[in-house]
Structure 1
Amino acid sequence: MLGAGAVLGLLAACSGGGSGAAPRPTSSGDGEIIVASGLDVTGSDGVRQQLIHAWNLTAEGRKHPARLLELPGGADEQRSQLLGALQSGSSQYDVVNLDGTWIPEFAEAGLITPLDPQVKADPDVIPSVAATARWKGHTYALPFNSDVGLLYYRPDYLKAAGFDPDSYPAAGMKWSGLQTMIRQLDTVHAEGALPGYQRGWTSQLAAYEGLTVNTIEAFASAGVHLTDPDGHYTADPAQLKTGLDELRDRAGSEYTLRGALSSYEAQSLSDFTAGRTAFLRHWPYAYRLLPQSLGAGQWAVAPLPGDAVLGGQDLAVSAASPRAAYALELAKFLTDPKSESCLLQAGFAATRDSAYRTPPPACPYVSPPAGSSPSASPSASSGETSTMPRDGQNRPLYASGTLRTALTSAVQRPRTPYYGAFTQALQSVVHGWLADPDPPDTDQVARRLDTALRRALAGR
């Protein structure tokens, strides 16, 4: 926990609140504002909790204090918990931190409150990110923290294979270019170098949302898109075959680490740090974790070849909240420019362009820039020294270039109120196919996937 002086410093640095009128106070009851969220990747008492602390020291926060409630389990389990609570009419949550793909489902079911006209379009929010908070022309949430697929790699392995790690992976490189590099790494490994190396790359291909993300990235890279902006299914078996061929080319055993089909985020990260693979598809939070296991020159990050999927969470106000007016003010505070800058410094992908471009405020719980003190500040989340590479503005070193570029060009997963059914249908067909030692031909799988997605996206 921060001491009183540190929290006051955080308040000065990261507060400011939002502007604009709150909803009419027809739901402005007393009591704590409960924010329901998944686990904070910056750890216990991490940046989200610290921003809640900062709100509680504002004049508004002293009258209407907030509490962060972290839900256990993965994204699918969290979605089920939130759906169950809100569908029952429970008022136990006031603000819900939703994956951007869930907004249409929760909005269509009337579980979250439309925020317009109180929330206006904000040009500072990255356009691709801002779109996750809207559905059918209305704003239902405020983008809190974003996410995007990135390519982490081992420069030491590339150097051993004869590549210049300062030039590769090259900007704009296609997947075929990555495969060329993997084949050369395999050759070097066969000659006795890279003793711990097994296969070229790994990702999260277990039967969960990670597989959906990887599939959409492969499909989008091949020019295949599954829905229109309103969630209507637009693909056909021929297009699906094109996308599946691209996915198979990526996930085939020739290039992919054994075990990837059962890998979640933690396992794939562990395989990378153990040296079993040279390339890893992962999220921005890995940038904060990798220095704990690998030294300088053993890891770096670049944009993914082809298209990368946008992730992230948005803050919505529960339709059952008796404190909706104050809940919206809290959501504005947590997503204002100063708060977003603090999120970026802590390792999240910020949703606002200004966080990447303007001098950031000082956030006491985030380690200072290298060289600004004899040793880095302890992390509030773990008590350990933060070694995440930073620029002179205390932002992650890759943030203003690689991360911002990836966010602005990222593609979205299908926007549909039936996202839960969609992702389960896709995972079921695709994982079974990838895991089959004697798979049917791709045309047959494409027809089966077409039937499954057509039904799921029609709500049947």
Structure 2
Amino acid sequence: MAPRGFRAAAPRRFVALLAALLLLAACTGGGGGGGDGGGGPQTSPSATADEPGDIVVASGRDVTGKNGVRQRLIDAWNVRQEREGTGYRARLVELPGSADEQRSQLLGALQSGSAGYDVVNLDVTWVPEFAAAGLVRPLPERLVDGDVIPSVASTARWDGRVYAVPFNSDVGLLYYRPDYLRQAGVQHTDLSSGLDWERLRTLIVDLDDRDPGAYDQGWTTQLAAYEGRTVNAVEAFASAVPDLVLTDADGRYRATAGQLARGIAELRRRTDASYTLPDAVRSDEAASVGDFADGRTAFLRHWPSVYRTLYQSFTRRQLGVAPLPGRAVLGGQNLAVTGASRRAGKAAELIEYLTGRESERCLLDAGFAATRVSAYTDDTVRCPVTAGAPSASPTGESADRMPRDAAGRPEYARPILLPALRRAVHRPRTPLYGAFTQTLTARLGPLFGAGPPSDEELARALDEELREALPD
């Protein structure tokens, strides 16, 4: 059990750590549809004559901290270029603001040509929009080879072509407090093999009867009016309707009001007030992990990146991680070459390095979800960049308290994270994803208010609006 003073101390300890989480793109979508971006598909990198100079990589903030693993991978590539005398050097530019704000900045910069970006780090939900608008170039198929986790590899393509290469992935997981469960008299507190929602509700009832520590309510997640609500909804919909197809391969809306009603009913059950921390309806990633760290709840739905963050304060006896009950949404970020790049060929080479086997092992060791199977299963693949030097946290701390297996990976990576990524479901893939997520987020709002409408009433309204937002 956490000390009684933990609730007061946790916010001070976590404030800098949580700030980085606000910028996680793994669980954010876009807003709005694609423009013409200069029109039409761009030529492949090999068709462009490169000019020596800086290759500018635009990305959101690296949650592994100052001089984090992304910067160190770029530094290692630069050392190779200097040694070979190529005349190229990569430079990382971190974009400020939330992921939605970053998307708007990238769209504006690429459509206007006002920023000299060669490589952009895109949320997986943005790839169809940027590809359809001609803002990023097709890439060689070999960059997404058979080592990339199949569910993750599919995020790289649009309209039959590769437009981006998976860099780091993401998937919903369930974090929990085994010490709270022990205090509630639960005999089997290792949930790593998985559980369903009925088992989770039973455990919450046990906790409510004993009320351990600073505990308030069973579980929390991200239900504020932003992409977190969309993620939770898609997970509930996919769990309730296993064969649900919200959009087809061309991004056209294909669900029915009846299917939506079943999904809404499942979301309503999951977020029932008797099981869910009241603050969840106003929570984003940072707020929800803060409530969990503060001891207010025993279960948290979140992304792999907080595994390392939480172990800065919790011990093995206080923290566990399990697959999310039901279906979990796939997130992550992919690297793409911009249509306007004057160094497109070399930029593609940089992407190949940053997403290669050794680089993906570096990302996994630092706390990201790697995109390649070999990072999880091949002990001969090692990280040459971070070996013996764990990446710093957003607060500048260098201590690495994250449990690791015999090969040095995060302990949960192979038995829990890799299977979760393989089973993960996609959010709709469409150039109009922004319109989809804005419609879903807004229309589901009444579900979390006073006197919510029936499942069928809400589903009919949502079905009608989605048909308008995603026309055939």
The verdict on a shared fold, with TM-score over 0.5 as the criterion, is: yes
SS in structure 2 opposite 1:438? Answer: coil
2:232 partner letter: N
Q: Secondary structure at the match of 1:146?
A: strand
What does residue 340 of structure 1 align with? 360
State which of 373, 382, 385 in structure 2 corresponds to 1:361.
382
> Does 2:415 align with 1:401?
yes
Aligned residue among 138, 147, 164 for 1:124: 147
2:401 aligned residue: 387
Paired residue for 1:206?
A: 224
Q: Deviations over 1:353-380 (max 9, x none)?
A: 0000112324454556xxxxxxxx6737
What letter is aligned with 2:341?
Answer: S
Deviations 1:403-433 (A, max 9, x none): 0010011001001010011111111111x21
Which of the residues 262, 284, 296 maps onto 1:276?
296
User: Structure 2: how far apart are the matches of 1:451 and 1:32?
Assistant: 48
1:34 aligned counterpart, secondary structure = strand
> What is the distance in 2 between the residues matched to 1:24 and 1:362?
29
Q: How many residues align?
A: 423
TM-score by length of 2: 0.86
Provide the residue aligned with 2:125 in structure 1: 101
Q: Which residue of 2 aligns with 1:222?
A: 240
> Could you tell me how far apart the structure 1 residues matched to 2:179 and 2:170 are?
27
- SS in structure 1 opposite 2:299? strand
* Percent identity of equivalent pairs: 57
Residue 433 of structure 1 aligns with which residue? 446
Deviation at 1:177, TM superposition (A): 1.7
Pair 1:83–1:148, CA change in 2 (3 A):
same
Structure 1 gap ranges (5+): 1-21, 369-376
Query: Which range moves more in the overlay, 145-154 or 37-46?
Result: 37-46
Equivalent residue number for residue 453 of structure 1: 466
* Cα pair 2:73 2:385 within 8 Å, conserved: no
CA contact (8 A) 1:27 1:322 kept: yes
Deviation at 1:445, TM superposition (A): 1.1
Preserved CA contact (<8 Å) 1:367 1:378: no
Cα separation, partners in 2 of 1:157 and 1:169, compared to 1, 3 Å: farther
Amino acid at match of 2:236: A
Which runs of structure 2 are paired with 1:288-327 in the superposition (5 Å)? 288-327=308-347
Which of these residues, 176, 181, 184, is aligned with residue 198 of structure 2?
A: 176
Shift of 1:182: 1.0
- Tell me, yes or no, if the aligned pair for 2:258 and 2:459 is still in contact at 8 Å: yes
Distance 1:351 1:362 in 2: 14
Question: In structure 2, do the counterparts of structure 1 residues 408 and 289 end up closer, same or farther at CA, with 3 Å as the change threshold?
Answer: same
| Contact preservation (8 Å) 1:365, 1:380 | no
Aligned to 1:246: 266
- Where does structure 2 lack aligned partners over 5 or more consecutive residues? 1-43
Cα distance change, pair 167–289 in 1 and its aligned pair in 2 (3 A): closer
Q: What TM-score do the two structures reach when normalised by structure 1?
A: 0.88
Any conservation in 2 of the 1:201–1:280 contact (CA below 8 Å)?
yes
Does the 8 Å contact 1:367/1:394 carry over to 2? Answer: no
Query: Which amino acid is 2:210 matched to?
Result: V
Structure 1 residue 121: deviation in Å?
4.5
Q: Is the contact between residue 67 and residue 392 of structure 2 (CA under 8 Å) also seen in structure 1? A: no
Sort the Cα spacing of 1:451 and 1:160 in 2 relative to 1 into closer, same or farther, 3 A.
same
**SS at structure 1 position matched to 2:45:** coil
* 1:57 corresponds to: 79
Post-superposition shift, 1:269?
A: 0.6
2:94 pairs with one of 64, 70, 73: 70
Of 356-365 and 143-152, more deviation after overlay is shown by: 356-365
- Is contact 2:46-2:344 (8 Å) kept? no
Letter in 2 for 1:241: A
Deviation, structure 1 residue 168? 3.3
- Whether the aligned pair in 2 keeps the contact of 1:422 and 1:453 (CA below 8 Å) is yes
